Amino acid sequence: MSQQTARRGGAAWALVITSVAGFMAALDNLVVTTALPSIRKDLGGGLHDLEWTVSAYTLTFAVLLMFGAALGDRFGRRRLFIAGITVFTGASAAAAMAPGIDSLIAARAVQGAGAAVMMPLTLTLLTAAVPVAKRGMAYGIWGAVNGLAVASGPLVGGSLTEHISWQWIFWLNVPLGLALLPLARLRLAESHGTGAPLDVPGTLLASGGLFGIVYGLVRGPADGWTTSLVLTGLFAGGALLVGFILYSTRAKNPMLPMRLFRSRAFAGINAASLLMFLGMFGSIFLLSQYMQGVLGYSPTEAGLRMLPWTGMPMLVAPIAGILADRIGGRPVVAAGLFLQSLGLGYMAVVATVDASYTVQLPALIISGIGMALFFAPASHLVMSSVRPTEQGIASGANNALREVGGALGIAVMASIFAAQGGYETGQTFVDGMRPALVTGSAVVAVAGIAALLIPTRRRTEEQSAPAEPAPVLETAVH
């Protein structure tokens, strides 16, 4: 076998291994949503418990994402990638066997930690294995597989829940993870990064701050907003985040350099990303339950009916990319956000206890087109807003903020839902969901305004020298 043939084989194996690993991590962001009614029926628990089955994953994923990438750079990317797969697979099995809601939440948190180590290393390992001339195609395949995972998440979760049991949404990861472990060991080459010291204080400050705020938001409706634990979580979390910002402005090698936010382009696209995920994740969390608990769809039917929203990026993203190349990313991203806002507002208006799918469909399609217009050019805006040497940090920061937005969105919109309605009847659910969707629509509209503040393409490109685009880590929704 020639050396060139061996290299091609290694690149192909790297693409398969990293794509499957990315598929598992991306799938588990939304795969639980259509299983929530069944989990609630089997394990009990209130609204705040259901929130944590989703947020425990997204929160640990978000907080440890950049730290996981730094661990790989320092101690070996293949080694930490294998460790991440091991933790993710073991936690998936623990989630499937969870005897109660608390143990399920704990397993989901560990799952997110494993994904945070595994996911950012998929692209660095792929980049090392694929020749420069073939990287664009490899990134495209990797991104398409991850997009498929997100689009099919509610459908896969619904189908497994209905036809087997909700536990199988976690068991699905186990054979995939066990197959990847020997392949990664044998087929991936070891590599290291710059060896910069790990930002342990920054990680602890960010983790504690985000946990405190999300904990306060989740527990507030159940325990009361003036109880000591809720107030302590909110105020301590806020104080720790302020401490994180102050620390990061002075640290030599911070996890998230605050100087990046001096760029109006970087600050604008990250604000838009965080707000977009806040409004979108919170909405999907409630709408998947609405379709089953109020409208009576089966889990599979609910997953299929959400495809016009979650699956639309697979169809529209290429068109959005062409538009962004011709007129710039800013107007495309802003248009996408305003369409997403319109779709959520439309759904809030038409949602009733007996709304037909025909009435809901325009809202789902509009939201899906909006999502697609956002995701295609948003990554390029992130990368072009910083210097080439900072593109890896910028990519990790943007994706971490997206995941934080998702966790906050579920907490905020579920709090609004609990304050205005509940699970007692279909009407009380709709009464709670409507103001939550209106809030999500307003938040995404603000994201659109933030996108309009991004400088024009010419001014943005002047801020960063031309360079081969660095791989962009798409962890949540494409």
Please tell me the total number of residues recorded for the chain in this structure: 478
For residue 67, report the phi and psi dihedrals to the nearest 5 degrees: -65, -40
Cβ density class 309-331: b for 16+ within 10 Å, e for less: bbbbbbebbeebbebbeeebbbb
The 3-state secondary structure of 122-147, one letter per residue: HHHHHHHHCCHHHHHHHHHHHHHHHH
Instruction: Write down the H helix ranges in 263-390.
Output: 264-289, 299-305, 307-310, 312-327, 329-350, 357-384
**Residue 73 is encoded by which pair of tokens?**
């750079």
pLDDT value of residue 151: 62
CA distance readout (Å), 343 to 274, 351, 364, 365, 370: 18, 12, 6, 8, 8
CA distance readout (Å), 9 to 20, 135, 172, 411, 424: 17, 15, 27, 45, 57
Nearest-5° Cα angle at 402, 33 to 192:
110
Q: Which CATH superfamily is domain 1-186 in?
A: MFS general substrate transporter like domains (1.20.1250.20)
CA distance readout (Å), 404 to 102, 203, 319, 411, 419: 22, 14, 28, 11, 23
Low-confidence ranges of the chain (pLDDT < 50): 1-7, 458-478
CB atoms closer than 10 angstroms to residue 242 = 12
pLDDT value of residue 392: 62
Residues 6+ apart with CB under 8 A from 350: 359, 360, 363
pLDDT value of residue 471: 45
Q: What is the pTM of this model?
A: 0.74
pLDDT value of residue 120: 75
Secondary element (H or E) of residue 55: helix 47-75
Query: Considering the domain 256-478 in this protein, what is its CATH number?
Result: 1.20.1250.20
Number of H helices, E strands in the chain: 19, 0
pLDDT value of residue 338: 94
Cα 295 to Cα 280: distance, rounded to the nearest angstrom: 21
Secondary element (H or E) of residue 31: none
pLDDT value of residue 243: 92
pLDDT value of residue 87: 94
- Report whether 351 contacts 290 (CB < 8 A): yes
Q: Assign residue 449 a region: left if phi > 0, alpha if psi is -120 to 50, beta otherwise? A: alpha
